Structure 1
């Protein structure tokens, strides 16, 4: 449960009781959104679980974590055993516990949520267990490698999909080389998630833990299409996994989009994540965020916490159409973000410098979104675009692309023999960290089977 601006907000999105502001005058506004459970809190919450047979929470989890199993281990005083249960299914269970929209996945499916309208706080329990294990440096790595196969696998991208694939492939006895374009591993876990969700450099600590299994080497500053090619990787390795995510951002298509002060929300979040102290990050006085997903909400809240006077999030449809969960939308409002629906941007306003944006009100007519002709302006000295990402298809020669995603079969193999793909760059489910982790895990299993028959 998080306490913000006089109200308590559970991850289910319910507003309860009264409290105090979630970040105080002694921090920079980027303290942990969901403070970690103490042992006493974890024990009490774990005892609320009914340990259902054929538990619906497991079905709702893309990685199929044995949720009742790990919660029972917490309740019996075995958090390290609980963590191994979690990590066996989801090696990035620590990040997913912090950033996964559990309120629409496992916790929404919790039978307690149906009977009492208060789900078991599965995400918080998962974090408690994984953090407990990761803090015990004296313990050996909980996973062992199978006998070495002598096979070499190349992984493109050190994001959740690529790292998950690398870890499972290493477990299966293969040696893995990961090629990462940036200076740090983690992908969106490091560069794209809100700073208040990933505190204390957790993304890097998680990667260090994951690499503890051995057999994985990461080469940084190696971008696909610039420093490496798929053809060369296929010639040099026994199999290739592509986990490049969606590297390009969509454009508004308006004159003045390249004007100073008009930025991509992902780039804004990335810069903030790499800035220390966070208070040194520049932000406008009046900020407009365009979009309706979690990235838009993350950018808007962080702009407000950085000190922007007014932050307005504008979405072209209604609240019910937003990809951001109800919980995330409520969090934005609690943090002082003004949310305006049914409006689309039509012009960027500038007079030597950025001064605002013009919008047209929208509505649905016969199921189609149309403008009403009524317009209004919002002043701004910074505009953040969070209108989705797209794949950089130029780097993926030889693979079929459909609907802006790499086409794969049921075994995650692309139309290029020996090359597999997973994560946001394929269509396997929602573009979530937890789905990317599952893609990487399943692709590694498929690669293992492929190598045994090659």
Structure 2
């Protein structure tokens, strides 16, 4: 009788390349023209439509849907993109179920909300596929130069709108590719066929925008350096640092940040070569935790357990995302917090303490613990801003302080996206921040 050999901690080739390609195909297959026409005709074209109010970028949703229903998808796309230049990504990754579609007047027990996100994707994809001239034109050149730090959704949105207004824009990006969260931080099955890069290429079609890569704030340049060479600066650095568990053994092999796992997977040309554990534990309750857990399972992990310190109603991940995890076989354990990492040369397990709410409503440990055997832990417990790079700006609550015009406490320096407190940390909110900041910068330069 032979003794069964234990599998190594992290493996590649857990599943065939064909199976993994299928697992990472489009989460929401795009509408055909027939489907788009049928769905668009379900819209009631409400006056003072609640779906518009629910959209952070205030897209004229009834107008674009009516254009689809009358056979004018390119016109629909221009309506969308005039409010949200990254409408293609938002159609794929935006939690429409808690925004525009939740507000849809058809979203009642006996009916279903109009599939606004799918219609938006249909229109934008139709326009982009035709390789037409960029739908927006630049205003007369102002001679002003704007620096944008960070080529994420906020920075790119700001750059596009600033270019439309006639300014010349230089974007400084730390990574080798643009897109920020859209390129590096969203699940691969949400952003198939290299869409993030195709969208950036489309956005840059307006002209007047240059991107310099490998330029990190605090490493390759300071704010003072940038400000001295430009008339105004927009900071869209996102949340570049991650929170730690604060436990001994956190540096053990196999304990990683979920956002790093997602980034490596997104950048892998062959996802079947991406190593994953046999028994994976994901810690957190947001969409990043869900993305990491589901993708680990789809890579072939035998068991994936997501552990969250509170109940499902407290999770920032939407109900759709939570259900997606369960459908994909992720085990979800609520009301537990990590208290110990077990490692002896390599990761062996995690110990959790069960939690509850005390009389004052604060989270408290119960003293009762349990252990989960694991060979890979992915931490999705939140991100934070790198404050050491932001000299001269006021930081409060882990965010850059801005006024109603997105201006920071440093003259001529504006900010937007996840690094400020303007709403939920969503791509769609970042796009709105960047657009509004560009308009504010334009007014600032005219009054300078």
Same fold (TM over 0.5): yes
Distance (whole Å) between structure 2 residues aligned to residue 353 and residue 297 of structure 1: 25
2:31 aligns to what? 37
2:74 aligns to what? 80
Distance (whole Å) between structure 2 residues aligned to residue 24 and residue 71 of structure 1: 37
TM-score when scaled to structure 2?
0.95
CA offsets, 1:198-217, max 9 Å, x none?
00000000000000000000
Structure number with the bigger relative contact order (C-alpha 8 A, sep ≥ 6) is 2
Report SS of the residue matched to 2:106. Answer: helix
Question: What pairs with 1:44-193 in structure 2 (closer than 5 Å)?
Answer: 44-114=38-108, 116-137=110-131, 139-193=132-186
* Structure 1 counterpart of 2:200, from 204, 207, 215: 207
Is 1:398 paired with 2:392? Answer: yes
Shift of the alpha carbon at 1:400? 0.1
CA contact (8 A) 2:252 2:345 kept: no
Question: What pairs with 1:339-418 in structure 2 (closer than 5 Å)?
Answer: 339-366=332-359, 367-418=361-412
* Structure 2 counterpart of 1:442, from 415, 436, 439: 436
CA offsets, 1:239-267, max 9 Å, x none?
00000000000000000001100000000
Is 1:270 paired with 2:263? Answer: yes
Aligned Cα RMSD in Å?
1.0
CA contact (8 A) 1:28 1:278 kept: no
Is 1:423 paired with 2:420? Answer: no
For these two proteins, the number of residue pairs brought into alignment is: 431
Shift of the alpha carbon at 1:351? 2.4
Distance (whole Å) between structure 2 residues aligned to residue 49 and residue 369 of structure 1: 44
Shift of the alpha carbon at 1:115? 5.9
* Structure 2 counterpart of 1:318, from 311, 318, 321: 311
Consecutive unaligned residues of structure 1, counting only runs of 5 or more, are 1-22
Distance (whole Å) between structure 2 residues aligned to residue 284 and residue 115 of structure 1: 42
Distance (whole Å) between structure 2 residues aligned to residue 329 and residue 233 of structure 1: 42
Is 1:27 paired with 2:21? Answer: yes
CA offsets, 1:40-72, max 9 Å, x none?
000000000000000000000000000000000
Consecutive unaligned residues of structure 2, counting only runs of 5 or more, are 1-16
Superposition misfits of 4+ residues, deviation over 6 angstroms: none
CA offsets, 1:349-399, max 9 Å, x none?
112211110000000012010000000000100000000000000000000
Distance (whole Å) between structure 2 residues aligned to residue 117 and residue 294 of structure 1: 27
- The structure-2 alpha-carbon separation of the partners of 1:277 and 1:225, relative to structure 1 and needing over 3 Å to count, comes to same
